[in-house]
């Protein structure tokens, strides 16, 4: 499977999750920081996973700008999923980045095939909570296999609209 994992990261935690997600796919996989993604990377991929740390309840400015710069049909025919890193419970007032990433990419032609997922850090600078990288790999394996994330075992939050 040709999978592209696009991420932004401030302290390295989201990068670790992106790489763990990449390990969940078999076949050709590219894991790229958002500023390094080229149009041909998107054209090449069949599945695109996009992630960001949660900052003020949103994705980073780099992910938001990336989305804004894409054509409306950039992801046509592609399977998409969104993830974030977050401090557990802390951003409930403002929400989390993953559902907002999903919303910002919905009009780009792709099909979101998994619920947005959050991976937990202990504090703003990290580290990741133990087991989160393994959970990210498991989530990616389910996406690759076409298993609805709502049917997976574990702490996979239900999709909510914000």
Query: What pLDDT, in 10s, does the model give residues 45-62?
Result: 999 999 999 998 999 999
Instruction: Give the three-state DSSP class for 49.
Output: strand
Please work out, in degrees rounded to the nearest 5, the angle formed at the alpha carbon of residue 62 by the alpha carbons of 44 and 78: 25
CATH T-level fold of 3-151: Rossmann fold (3.40.50)
Q: How far is CA 139 from the centre of its chain?
A: 11
Of the CA atoms within 13 Å of residue 99, those in its CB half-sphere come to 12
The pLDDT > 90 percentage for the chain reads: 77
* For the chain, domain boundaries: 3-151
Query: What pLDDT, in 10s, does the model give residues 94-113?
Result: 889 999 999 999 889 889 98
Query: What pLDDT, in 10s, does the model give residues 125-138?
Result: 999 999 999 999 99
Confirm whether pTM is higher than 0.75. yes
Q: What is the mean pLDDT of residues 67-92?
A: 89
């Amino acid at each position: 499977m040709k999978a592209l994992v696009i991420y932004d990261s401030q302290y390295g935690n989201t990068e670790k999750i992106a790489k763990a997600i990449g390990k969940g796919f078999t076949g050709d996989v590219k894991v790229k920081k958002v500023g390094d993604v080229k149009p041909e990377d998107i054209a090449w991929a069949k599945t695109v996973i996009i992630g960001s740390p949660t900052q003020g309840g949103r994705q980073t400015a780099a992910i938001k700008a990336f989305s804004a710069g894409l054509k409306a049909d950039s992801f046509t025919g592609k399977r998409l999923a969104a993830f974030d890193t977050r401090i557990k419970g802390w951003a409930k007032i403002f929400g989390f980045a993953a559902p907002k990433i999903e919303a910002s990419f919905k009009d780009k032609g792709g099909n979101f095939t998994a619920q947005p997922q959050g991976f937990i850090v202990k504090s703003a600078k990290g580290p990741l909570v133990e087991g989160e990288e393994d959970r990210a790999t498991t989530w990616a394996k389910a996406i690759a296999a076409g298993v609805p994330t709502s049917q997976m075992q574990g702490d996979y939050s239900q999709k909510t609209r914000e």
